């Protein structure tokens, strides 16, 4: 980000952290004087190369990132990833597949600039903590952590080592979410007062195998009740509301409906007598959470993945000058729109389309999630190459992700209000909004 490589305050944090952690960085083999060379390719290792990890591996290769190591508990996946790298014209990467913690050996032994992980959720924080301790940039799939304790350990590790950790929240890079961010920062909606977002997406198919056996996502649903996957929805809204950059999430209350969907789905897939159809799923079919910020902005957050339904992330944002509805893909701006009528969002694209989408446009649509995977990886690699802070940093990542733990606690206590920890220790008051600029 030329001329503003890192937002005010966060830039100072990174400089101080790197100075404090210089000994650890040098011990790890990363040369401080050459790491940020513009023409130096990023060397990246991948932990977890199943479906999602393999998809992002292909994105990284398309950007010229040097994939020099891959890790997975399943040897066949490692071999597949190695073949993909070789087919892209790069040397065969080193493979790691000796048990569930072989990623520790990889991050310690390999000469890497960064590590990306797409493991199951319980391993996200452990992989990122090991990565930062090894003096490498970390990039993780969602959520970044599952518990408050993990969140604090991630923050403290980043501070002690001076190494950034990015939540690779691709939904923050979608064309419409970035366009709304641009509109917000240009005051199109005025002072924001409310947002409504939700991960509302029928994903029952990723919970059971073809013969009805529970996969790792379903096992979470047996033990947990709350919102287990908040960041796709809350991430863009948090950026619109300048969370950790002038405002902060203060507290939430959460409530879940009864759990019916997974049993009904298991009956359809495997029959009524299958154990999966008789399992006592704890996770309610629909979770509804209300969040209030320090400035008094409210957010309604939904989670709904266990019932038959079309996709709808809602993406509503409302202010003193207008409103946007992602469900309708329409907006209304006072003084510009016809009175009491919606307008198509596309009518404002020429004016407010995000610079990155204007720059890359249709060229990246072939990549995952409508091109947002491409921009997310590109932004991460740029920070690694230039040795600057990542755009969705460890404070953002843990703030969005602890909703998983806070909603669980609230649901268990009959929707009791749960306070968000201030992971920034007051610095959110001074940090500035993420600038809208092309990658």
Bridge partners (DSSP) listed for residue 319: 192
Q: In this predicted structure, what is the pLDDT of residue 10? A: 53
∠ Cα 171 173 174 (to 5°) = 70
∠ Cα 185 167 319 (to 5°) = 25
d(C-alpha 315, C-alpha 377), whole Å: 23
d(C-alpha 250, C-alpha 241), whole Å: 13
Domains and CATH numbers, the chain: 10-169 (3.40.50.720), 172-360+394-429 (3.30.360.10)
Q: In this predicted structure, what is the pLDDT of residue 330? A: 98
**What SS3 state is found at 72?**
coil
Task: Choose among 200, 202, 207, 201: nearest CA to 266.
Answer: 207
Q: In this predicted structure, what is the pLDDT of residue 40? A: 80
Report the chain (439 residues): mean pLDDT per 10 consecutive residues: 41 50 34 42 97 98 98 98 98 97 98 97 97 98 98 98 98 97 98 98 95 92 97 98 98 98 96 96 98 98 98 98 98 98 97 97 91 97 97 98 98 98 98 90
């Amino acid at each position: 980000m030329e001329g503003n490589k890192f937002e005010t305050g966060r830039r100072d944090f990174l400089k101080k952290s790197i100075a404090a952690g210089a000994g650890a960085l040098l011990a790890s083999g990363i040369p401080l004087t050459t790491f940020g060379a513009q023409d130096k390719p990023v060397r990246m290792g991948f932990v977890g190369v199943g479906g999602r990890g393999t998809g992002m591996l292909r994105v990284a290769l398309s950007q010229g990132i040097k994939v020099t190591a891959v890790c997975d508990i399943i040897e066949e996946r490692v071999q597949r990833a190695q073949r993909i790298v070789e087919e892209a014209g790069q040397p065969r990467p080193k493979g790691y597949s000796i048990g569930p913690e072989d990623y520790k050996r990889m991050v310690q032994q390999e000469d890497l600039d960064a590590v990306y992980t797409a493991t199951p959720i319980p391993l996200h924080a452990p992989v990122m903590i090991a990565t930062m301790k090894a003096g490498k940039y970390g990039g993780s799939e969602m959520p970044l952590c599952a518990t408050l304790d993990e969140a604090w350990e991630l923050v403290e590790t980043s501070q002690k080592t001076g190494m950034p950790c990015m939540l690779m929240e691709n939904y923050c890079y979608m064309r419409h979410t970035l366009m709304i961010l641009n509109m917000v920062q240009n005051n199109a909606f005025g002072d924001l007062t409310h947002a409504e977002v939700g991960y509302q997406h029928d994903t029952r198919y990723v919970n059971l195998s073809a013969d009805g056996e529970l996969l790792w996502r379903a096992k979470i649903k047996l033990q947990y009740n709350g919102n287990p996957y908040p960041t796709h929805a809350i991430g863009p809204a948090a950026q619109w509301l300048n969370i950790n950059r002038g405002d902060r999430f203060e507290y939430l209350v959460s409530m879940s409906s009864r759990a019916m969907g997974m049993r009904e789905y298991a009956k359809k897939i495997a029959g009524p007598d299958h154990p999966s159809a008789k399992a006592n799923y704890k996770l309610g079919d629909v979770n509804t959470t209300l969040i209030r910020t320090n400035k008094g902005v409210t957010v309604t957050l939904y989670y709904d993945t266990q019932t038959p339904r079309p996709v709808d992330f809602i993406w509503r944002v409302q202010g003193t000058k207008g409103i946007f509805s992602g469900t309708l893909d329409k907006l209304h701006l006072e003084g510009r729109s016809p009175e009491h009528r919606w307008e198509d969002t596309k009518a404002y694209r020429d004016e407010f389309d995000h610079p990155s989408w204007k720059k890359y446009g249709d060229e990246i649509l072939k990549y995952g999630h409508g091109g947002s995977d491409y921009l997310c990886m590109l932004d991460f690699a740029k920070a690694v190459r230039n040795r600057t802070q990542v755009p969705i940093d460890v404070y953002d990542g843990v703030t969005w992700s602890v909703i998983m733990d806070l909603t669980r606690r609230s649901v268990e206590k009959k929707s009791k209000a749960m306070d968000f920890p201030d992971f920034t220790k007051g610095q959110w008051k001074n940090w500035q909004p993420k600038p809208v600029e092309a990658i």
